[in-house]
Amino acid sequence: MPRDIPVGNGDLLVTFDRTYRVRDLYYPRVGRHNHTDGHVQRFGVWADGAFAWIEDEGWDREMRYNADTLTTDIKLVHEGLGLEVTCQDCVDFHEPVYFRRSVVRDLKGAPRDVRLFFHIDLSINGSPVGDTANYDPTTSAVVLYKDDSYFLINACDQHKVGIDHWAIGAKRIGDAEGTWRDAEDGQLGRNAISQGSVDATVGFNLMVPANGEAAVTSWIACGRSYEDVRDLSAAIWEKGPERMIGRTEAYWKLWCRKEPMDTAPLPEPVRDLYYRSQLIMRTQIDNGGAIIAANDSDITHFAGDHYSYCWMRDGALVAHALILSGQSELSRSFFRYAGECMEDRGYFLHKYTPEGALASSWHPWMLDGQKVLPIQQDETALVVWALRRHFELYRDVEFIKPLYTNLVARPAEWMLSYRDHHGLPQPSWDLWEERRGVHLFTVASTIGALAAAADFAEDFGEHDRAAAFREGADRMTAAVRKHFWHAERQCFARMIVPLDDRTYRLDMTRDSANFALWAIGGFDPNDEQVVADMNSLRDRLWVKTDVGGCARYERDYYHQVETKDVENVPGNPWVICTLWQALWTIERARTVAELNGAMDTLNWCVDRTLPSGVLGEQFNPHTGDPISVSPLTWSHATYVVCCVRYLRRLEELREGVASGAETSAI
């Protein structure tokens, strides 16, 4: 089930599913640990003897954010209960605390006895073994803890602080379903403590006047010790939780609109998603610099692993979006993190944990009895390329200085050493992590990285290095035309595999990743071969259903929905691949009318979002439902890049009109 409405601050991340149940809670790093292990955290309402959990069919739900913030705007109506519940969720912009303010309104015209119940099913540090839950009379709260991870659950209304009900007990042990069952009669057992595989449910009483409303604010305070969570909870009561929610809302409005970029030319829905995408990206970025691919634990049921890692490819391309949108503090943080992860020889391995340790991998270190590097070379190259994009915009020499040797010179030297005698990179894994060979995306990324390294070397006065890097990029560019271009088909191969010292086998599968040749590799977007290749990609990979969009490559098997009509549905439509086509339109536009062709794709993305504005990885080609992880950080980043490039190209074209150029063509 896609994750809707993530809220976080870079230390604490909370995600919800489409029925408004909390599903993931990451602390103290985004992506690690997931203290729910994906299990459902229930929310229930008891009113005058009747009860409903939030996932029950009787609820009508509207789940959105408040505009330009990371505070939610949730409206829940249950006709059977005769209640409307509006909720505002957020993670404080500074402190590791998750808030939910719930306002309950009577719809029956009678005074109501209402009780809200919050179920907490933690597997602290990713495991339920050895957890403890206890009621703390000092704070009138329930505390769950293990090792150095503590969580205090409390609530208050305008009169008092402290929960009214609690239940603590075993879960998923024998016949024990969990304490959430105890809430369904409106009463909780008040057991004081339990250890092992435990959960807790807390409740709060509300007396709701006829046609009126009553409110309660609950919170989960996170810390490394009991003193941490006790003191934080006391500070919340002292400051006032509503004030902390208000300051958080104000902070995110300031954060996402701090740059003086004129977004007025974008239609309002497109503009709203531009700012929403920045905010959602922020929820997936750890304060230590790691840019996490996605934090949706449901994917573990499919693959036995998750996306809560930093792939340097995703990180570099997301960093590019941060750079263009003015979020330079985050791009700097990522590059510092990448510098710490860089291997001694000058390349990155598969992926890394939020702390910077080597993460799980399926890339072997030996194939056919031969030692191989378990790498995707584009990951190394793209970090160098993105770092140059950052420097060209911000010119922050003091920031670049300590990174130059480790994150520019050493990787570029390694890329020169890791070539065959044609000047092309040696085989590595592709960006989709499915096949090994010499990939056009990898080659384009390496060309872009060597050109970037040459520019850096010139800046630092290392002219011999600059010349070597430049020569390597130029030779690689020539090798692309010689070895990747198929003259009869008039398109580039997506991959070549060495057969011997002189020849390659060409894989002519149409692959959206070929866009990198002009977007990263420095090829002219109007080059005849590039134009022919991009037109071929559009023709072969566009999904010819009412959903539309562009597939990754022909006969893409990952989460494949359509297995028969692959001519019309070559794969599921992906956000990033569809937006690469829009970028192509933007870069080649010579008139405003041509540029506006990209707006259809931006609107397509708006139509594909969940009501909250969350974009997934890919979609069902027939229904448009999101498939795989959601949100995907890379999807939102690519949307941001498209919007910025659209606005800049529009400005360039309008300036051309003002100066008398291309007037007749517009």
What percentage of the chain reaches a pLDDT higher than 70? 98
pLDDT digits (tens, 9 = 90+) for 328-367: 999 999 999 999 999 999 999 999 999 999 999 999 999 9
**Residue 661 in this model has a pLDDT that exceeds 50:** no
Read off the tokens for 115. 């009780």
Place of tokens 């409303």: 213
- Tell me, what amino acid is at 152? L
Cα Rg of the chain (Å, integer): 27
Locate the domains of the chain by residue range: 4-229, 312-541, 548-658
d(CA 602, CA 582): 8
The pLDDT of residue 664 = 33
Between 377-394 and 328-341, two packed helices, what is the crossing angle to 10 degrees? 140
Q: Is the pLDDT of residue 150 over 90?
A: yes
Cβ atoms within 10 A of the Cβ of 301, count? 8
pLDDT on residue 300: 76
* Close Cβ partners of 157 (under 8 Å, ≥ 6 residues apart): 204, 206, 214, 215, 216, 217
- DSSP characters over 305-365: S-S-SB-HHHHHHHHHHHHHTT-HHHHHHHHHHHHHH--TTS---S-B-TTS-B------S
Tell me the CA distances in angstroms from 513 to 267, 447, 510, 629, one per residue in order: 28, 15, 9, 20
Give the amino acid at 252: W
Q: Report in angstroms the alpha-carbon separations of 414 from 409, 420, 424, 438, 441.
A: 9, 13, 13, 16, 18
4-229 matches 312-541 in fold: no
Can you give the pLDDT at residue 117?
Answer: 98
Element (H, E) at 28: strand 22-29
Phi, psi of 99 (to 5 degrees): -110, 150
Strands (E), 401-500: 428-429, 436-439, 485-486, 491-492, 495-498
Q: Which fold has domain 4-229?
A: Beta-galactosidase; Chain A, domain 5 (2.70.98)
Following DSSP, what letter does each residue of 533-586 receive, concatenated? HHHHHHHHHB--SSS--EESBTT--TT---SS-TTT-SS-EEHHHHHHHHHHHH
Per-residue model confidence (pLDDT) at position 1: 58
pLDDT band at 265 (very low <50, low <70, confident <90, very high): very high
Using DSSP bridges, classify how beta strands 97-106 and 83-91 pair: parallel, antiparallel or unpaired.
antiparallel
Question: Of the CATH numbers 3.40.50.1100, 3.90.180.10, 3.30.1650.10, 1.50.10.10, which one belongs to the domain with range 312-541?
Answer: 1.50.10.10
**pLDDT bucket at 652, cuts 50 / 70 / 90:** very high
- Which residues touch 488 (CB under 8 Å, ≥6 apart)? none
Give phi and psi for 181, each to the nearest 5.
-65, -30
> DSSP string of 239-308?
H-HHHHHHHHHHHHHHHHT-S----TTS-HHHHHHHHHHHHHHHHTB-TTS-B-S---GGGHHHHSS-S-
Sequence letter at residue 163: I
* Beta-bridge mates of residue 486: 491
Question: Does residue 608 register a pLDDT over 80?
Answer: yes
What pLDDT was estimated at residue 301?
62
* Phi, psi torsion values for 96, nearest 5 degrees: -80, 70
pLDDT tens sequence across 538-549: 999 999 999 999
Using alpha carbons, list the distances in angstroms from residue 96 to 14, 232, 539, 625. 11, 9, 49, 33
pLDDT tens-digit series, residues 30-88 = 999 999 999 999 999 999 999 999 999 999 999 999 999 999 999 999 999 999 999 99
What is the Cα–Cα distance from 570 to 551, expressed in whole angstroms? 6
| pLDDT at residue number 4 | 86
Query: For 616-630, what is each residue's pLDDT tens digit?
Result: 999 999 999 999 999
pLDDT by residue (tens digit) across 525-581?
999 999 999 999 999 999 999 999 999 999 999 999 999 999 999 999 999 999 999
Q: Cα–Cα distance between 615 and 395 in angstroms, integer?
A: 32
Amino acid symbol at 486: H
CA distance 189 to 192: 9
Q: Using the structure block, give the residue that is written with the tokens 């954060």.
A: 255
- Amino acid 174: pLDDT: 86
pLDDT reported for residue 574: 98
